[in-house]
């Protein structure tokens, strides 16, 4: 069989995962990136004009449109078309598209603080309509705080369009789903723990299994996943969701047709044995996934694992001694080498590394 070639967009820490997975698959891996000295560079095969069989990236919202556009023009497999991505133009667009879907939040949009002067549901979440992750996300208690946080939040937006959403009470969960041929072939619910004393929902830990992964609630969660994927036109590929649960209320916070930036695929593989990166590469390069087809679900309660981040402020020099790692961790990864300076990304708290461990060994 002719060796396949994958073009990877970006060379950040998430792309290290993709590059290593492509190597394991047996594919050549090339990269297109602004920073050619990114941490994924040691894993790529070079830079030149290539005949790509697939174009993909992990965790980069801005790469969705270039991936779809280039793939369509080259006539190679892609998980979403340009037409599909129009429905995902920004958070305002998809909130409008999901207007009738139960779990959607009340929202408003505008370009100036005064556009939200009549908003009367506090606390609320103020954020750019076109940013990803926790960049520019602020919880506001009144209009005075809207005015105070607006310039900083808007600085993370290219278009300047801002969105205000009702603040959803309750615990956070994530859902990693995979669609194939218009059917939901895999989905797993996890607990998402963020720093409660910081704005913006900065991630601290992920837990599998989720405390909410039980019927009938788990059924409602998966029905919401299916409904959103159907309305948005996501027929193939990985779609990541963030939701909140308060009593019997289920709120849709975010979703995106890409892998998250938290390496959840590795936690999922640790717990279930299913490698979603392998599933992704098989779909892109072969048209379907034998790994997904052969997967047999496991009893999650017998395989509990946590993924926990070590984080610190930007500008700090990294000293591993300052960041605890569980002695029985099954995996540990550092974003920085000893003595390197932590980069500024969120302006609040930055990831330094992460590790995976079994909670009953704490």
Average pLDDT per run of 10 along the chain, which is 362 residues long?
89 91 95 76 69 92 90 93 90 94 96 98 96 85 98 95 96 98 98 87 94 96 98 97 95 95 97 98 97 97 96 98 97 98 90 95 46
What is the SS3 assignment for the chain?
A: CCCCEEEEECCCHHHHHHHHHHHHHCCEEEEECCCCCCCCHHHCCCCCCCCCCEEECCCCHHHHHHHHHHHHHHCCCCCCCHHHHHCCCCHHHHHHHCCCCCCCCCEEEECCHHHHCCCCCCCEEEEECCCCCCCCCEEECCHHHHHHHHHHHHCCCCCCCEEEEECCCCEEEEEEEEEECCEEEEEEEEEEEECCCCCCCCEEEEEECCCCCCCCHHHHHHHHHHHHHHHHCCCCEEEEEEEEEECCEEEEEEEECCCCCCCHHHHHHHHHCCCHHHHHHHHHHHCCCHHHHHCCCCCHHHCCEEEEEEEECCCCECCHHHCCCCCCCCEEEECCCCCCECCCCCCCCEEEEEEEECHHHC
Q: Which token pair is 125? A: 């979440």
* Ordered strands of the 305-312 beta sheet: 249-256, 237-246, 171-180, 183-194, 203-208, 305-312, 350-357, 331-334
What is the predicted pLDDT for the residue at 276?
98
> What are the backbone dihedrals phi and psi of residue 102, each rounded to the nearest 5 degrees, phi first?
-65, 130
The pLDDT of residue 1 is 65
Query: Measured between alpha carbons, how far is residue 27 from residues 51, 73, 189, 234, 281 in Å?
Result: 13, 22, 31, 26, 9
**How many beta carbons lie within 10 A of that of residue 280, not counting itself?**
27
Q: How far apart are CA 308 and CA 206, in angstroms?
A: 7
Q: Domain map of the chain by residue range?
A: 5-78, 106-166, 171-361
CATH of 106-166, one of 3.30.70.141, 3.50.50.60, 3.30.1490.20, 3.30.980.10: 3.30.1490.20
For residue 47, what pLDDT is reported?
55
Q: How far apart are alpha carbons 279 and 274 in whole angstroms?
A: 8
| Overall pTM > 0.75 | yes
Q: What is the pLDDT of residue 48?
A: 63
The fourth-level CATH superfamily of domain 5-78 is: NAD(P)-binding Rossmann-like Domain (3.40.50.720)
Superfamily of domain 171-361: ATP-grasp fold, B domain (3.30.470.20)
What's the rounded Cα separation, in Å, for the pair 358 and 160?
43
Res 135: pLDDT: 82
- Judge if 5-78 and 171-361 fold alike in CATH terms: no
């Amino acid at each position: 069989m002719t060796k396949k070639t994958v073009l990877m967009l970006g060379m950040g820490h998430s792309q290290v995962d993709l590059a290593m997975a492509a190597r394991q698959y047996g594919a050549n891996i090339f990269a297109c990136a602004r920073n050619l000295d990114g941490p994924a560079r040691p894993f790529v095969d070079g830079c030149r004009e290539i005949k790509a069989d697939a174009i993909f990236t992990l965790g980069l919202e801005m790469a969705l449109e270039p991936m779809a556009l280039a793939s369509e023009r080259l006539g190679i497999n892609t998980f979403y078309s340009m037409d599909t991505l129009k429905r995902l133009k920004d958070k305002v667009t998809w909130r409008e598209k999901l207007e009738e879907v139960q779990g959607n939040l009340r929202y408003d949009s505008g370009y100036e603080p005064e556009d939200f002067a009549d908003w009367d549901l506090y606390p609320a979440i103020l954020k750019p309509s076109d940013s990803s992750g926790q960049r520019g996300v602020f919880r506001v208690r009144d209009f005075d705080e809207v005015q105070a946080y607006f310039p900083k939040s808007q600085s993370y937006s290219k278009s300047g369009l801002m969105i205000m959403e009702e603040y959803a009470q309750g615990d956070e969960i994530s859902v990693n789903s995979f669609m194939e041929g218009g059917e939901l072939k895999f989905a797993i619910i996890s607990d998402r723990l963020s720093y409660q004393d910081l704005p913006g929902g900065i991630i601290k830990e992920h837990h599998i299994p989720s405390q909410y992964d039980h019927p009938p609630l788990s059924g409602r969660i998966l029905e919401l996943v299916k409904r959103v994927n159907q309305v948005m036109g996501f027929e193939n590929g990985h779609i990541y969701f963030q939701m909140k649960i308060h009593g019997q209320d289920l709120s849709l916070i975010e979703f995106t047709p890409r892998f998250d930036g938290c390496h959840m695929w590795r936690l999922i593989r640790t717990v279930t044995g299913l490698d979603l990166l392998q599933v992704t590469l098989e779909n892109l390069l072969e048209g379907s996934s034998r790994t997904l087809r052969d997967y047999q679900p496991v009893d999650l309660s017998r395989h509990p694992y946590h993924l926990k981040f070590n984080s610190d402020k930007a500008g700090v020099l990294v000293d591993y001694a300052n960041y605890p790692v569980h002695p029985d961790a099954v995996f540990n990864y550092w974003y920085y080498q000893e003595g390197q300076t932590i980069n500024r990304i969120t302006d609040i708290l930055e990831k330094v590394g992460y590790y995976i461990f079994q909670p009953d060994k704490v």
